[in-house]
Amino acid sequence: MIVNQSDSNYTDDKTCDAVGSHTDNENKHYDIVGSRTGMWLFLYTEIMLFGGLFVLYAAYYRMYTADFTGAGKELDILMGSINTVMLLVSSFAVAASITAIQKKSRKVALAFLGFALFLGAMFLVNKYFEWGHKIDLGIFPNSPLMEDSSHGRVLFFSLYYTITALHAIHIIIGMTLLAVTMAFIMTDKVTEHKYVLLENAGLYWHLVDLIWIFIFPLFYLIY
């Protein structure tokens, strides 16, 4: 049986053209610049939210410096330090996952993201026990103990619970984004050629870590 080589080449060319056309059609619906720009705009709104709370903290600190300083000494510096280290390491893990996916190391990327999720969960567990200890002591807004406290101390712990609770919610959102990204990696929807979702999830996670870098000294290192 004689095969016409020119016909075979023609068929291969048609197949390649079809695959290329399919890839081009996918890329048309994949706006990398738009996705990144949209994420940066969203992060800007998050910065404005926490920035406003930090400004409020600064205003009250100026008015009640002694009360804020005294209340800050009641927080557990060791627990806050451990949480800070865990978030910093988790940020490194997320950044490493992006490098891994760029190098086609899908399993390594998944391992780093899984590690980041574990650290995020441990952060929330530590925060739960920290809040629980304070609540057991009666240190929370509108508690009988706080009714006899100075106005500045009440404001300090009101801001503490508000800001750290809001940050914890953002941790949960960030973990959800990382988990969704892991699922996309496992289903080949995030690859070395298409990883903007992983980048955006990483940006959000880095923002959450950055916000904690401000929270930690404002509440735990105030002396």
Q: Which CATH superfamily is domain 33-220 in?
A: Cytochrome c oxidase, subunit III, four-helix bundle (1.20.120.80)
**Cα–Cα distance, 124 to 91 (Å, whole number):** 16
The pLDDT value given to residue 29: 54
Q: Is the CB of residue 141 less than 8 Å from the CB of residue 159?
A: no
Residue in the block written with tokens 């720009």: 37
% pLDDT > 70, the chain: 86
pTM: 0.83
User: What are the tens digits of pLDDT across the range 26-54?
Assistant: 444 556 787 788 888 999 999 999 999 99
State mean pLDDT over 133-140. 91
The pLDDT value given to residue 215: 97
Domain boundaries, the chain: 1-30, 33-220
Beta bridge mates, 191: 194
120 vs 10, residue with greater confidence: 120
State mean pLDDT over 49-61. 96
Model confidence band, residue 91 (pLDDT cutoffs 50, 70, 90): very high
State mean pLDDT over 129-144. 91
DSSP summary character for residue 3: -
43 class by beta-carbon count within 10 Å (0-12 exposed, 13-18 middle, 19+ buried): middle
DSSP H/E element including 158: helix 151-186
